[in-house]
């Protein structure tokens, strides 16, 4: 074991004895697993810092390259291989999945995905709308997470009628985390999945570069975030009309999943998998 002299806390003592995960190129055909979501797929391409994985059902999901993957049960860091174009004749949807041509929307499943607000729903629809229609998944908005427990009680989730919930600012110790824990404690196991992203508002999930700014502004806690952000950016912010106008401008700059932060991509993909995976 490596010695650090007299100071036992010198160096990175927490990592003593640990083996760093090896770096593996994301070559086409490599089968990898995401332990957090359980998604398993083969690499079908690499594009702009993301790896595209296809599962057994032919669904293709995009995930950021880097750590967090397993290959044959061992943790690895996926690195970019040479970019691989999608197979000829197979167009991509905005989410990165293969576009299913001339596909009628499937009859809606009993399962649902809930998001906190209208803007969340519109963003999810713009990027994942094709996937959701193919899978027959309806996205509904909660108008806030405060009444999640009551909404779940009214819905009555089961193993075949699941609810996936996307929550803003779901971080350890937050009010949102407490509400989610209390609400899921009252439902059958495996019927509800609550995931979240670290952003105070869904607007922040859009990469600032798409709006021509370096970063989203810091907004004092006592201010409403959207209006505070618009004020800091020198944009009209007096009423909800100004907020709605700004949001439409922001939404118009989103073309594909590449325009969104990775911290949103994973949770949304996880919810889609949760409400569409076979039961029994």
Query: What pLDDT, on a 0 to 100 scale, did the predictor assign at position 84?
Result: 47
Split at pLDDT 50, 70, 90, the class of 157 is very high
Mean pLDDT of 93-104: 60
Cα angle 263-266-268, degrees, rounded to a multiple of 5: 105
Three-state secondary structure call for residue 253: coil
Phi, psi of 263 (to 5 degrees): -65, -15
How crowded is residue 74: how many other Cβ atoms within 10 Å of its Cβ? 11
Mean pLDDT of 51-69: 80
Query: What pLDDT, on a 0 to 100 scale, did the predictor assign at position 9?
Result: 39
CB-based contact 254:206 (threshold 8 Å): yes
Residue range 180-218, pLDDT digits in tens = 999 999 899 999 999 999 999 999 999 999 889 999 999
Q: How far apart are CA 230 and CA 223, in angstroms?
A: 11
Burial class (CB in 10 A: 0-12, 13-18, 19+), 110: middle
pLDDT reading at 4 higher than 50: no
pLDDT reading at 250 higher than 50: yes
pLDDT reading at 239 higher than 60: yes
Q: What percent of the chain has pLDDT over 70?
A: 81
Mean pLDDT of 149-156: 94
pTM (two decimals): 0.67
Query: What pLDDT, on a 0 to 100 scale, did the predictor assign at position 3?
Result: 43
Q: How far apart are CA 188 and CA 103, in angstroms?
A: 34
pLDDT reading at 247 higher than 50: yes
pLDDT reading at 13 higher than 50: no
Report the relative pairing of strands 60-64 and 50-54 from DSSP bridges.
antiparallel
Split at pLDDT 50, 70, 90, the class of 98 is low
Query: What pLDDT, on a 0 to 100 scale, did the predictor assign at position 173?
Result: 86
If phi over 0 gives left and psi between -120 and 50 gives alpha, with beta otherwise, what is residue 154? alpha
Query: What pLDDT, on a 0 to 100 scale, did the predictor assign at position 158?
Result: 94
Closest of 154, 248, 144 to residue 201, by C-alpha: 144
CA-based Rg of the chain, rounded to a whole angstrom? 21
pLDDT reading at 87 higher than 70: no
Q: What percent of the chain has pLDDT over 90?
A: 44
Highest mean pLDDT among 72-76, 139-143, 163-167: 163-167
The larger pLDDT score, comparing residue 86 to residue 148, is at 148
Q: In what order do the strands lie in the sheet with 112-115?
A: 138-141, 112-115, 163-167, 192-196
Query: What pLDDT, on a 0 to 100 scale, did the predictor assign at position 107?
Result: 64
Q: What is the mean pLDDT of the chain?
A: 83
pLDDT reading at 68 higher than 90: no
């Amino acid at each position: 074991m490596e010695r650090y002299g007299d100071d036992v806390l010198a160096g990175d003592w927490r990592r003593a004895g640990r083996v760093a995960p090896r770096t593996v190129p994301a070559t086409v055909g490599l089968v990898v697993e995401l332990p957090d979501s359980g998604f398993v797929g083969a690499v079908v391409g690499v594009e702009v810092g993301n790896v595209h994985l296809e599962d057994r059902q032919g669904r293709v999901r995009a995930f950021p390259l880097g750590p967090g993957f397993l290959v044959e049960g061992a943790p690895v860091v996926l690195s970019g291989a040479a970019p691989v174009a999608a197979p000829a004749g197979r167009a991509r949807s905005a989410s990165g999945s293969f576009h299913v041509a001339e596909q009628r929307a499937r009859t809606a499943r009993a399962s649902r995905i809930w998001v906190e607000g209208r803007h969340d729903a519109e963003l999810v629809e713009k990027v994942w709308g094709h996937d959701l229609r193919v899978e027959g998944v309806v996205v509904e908005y909660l108008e806030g997470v405060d009444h999640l427990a009551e909404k779940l009680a009214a819905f009555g989730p089961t193993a075949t009628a699941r609810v996936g919930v996307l929550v803003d600012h779901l971080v350890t110790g937050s009010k949102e985390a407490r509400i989610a824990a209390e609400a899921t404690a009252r439902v059958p196991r495996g019927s509800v999945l609550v995931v979240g992203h670290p952003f105070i508002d869904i607007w922040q999930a859009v990469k600032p570069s798409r709006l021509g700014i370096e970063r989203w502004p810091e907004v004092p806690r006592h201010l409403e975030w959207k209006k505070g952000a618009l004020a800091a950016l020198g944009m009209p912010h007096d009423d909800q009309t100004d907020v709605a106008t700004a949001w439409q401008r922001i939404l118009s700059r989103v073309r594909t999943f590449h325009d969104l932060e990775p911290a949103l991509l994973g949770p949304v993909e996880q919810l889609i998998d949760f409400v569409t995976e076979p039961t029994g």
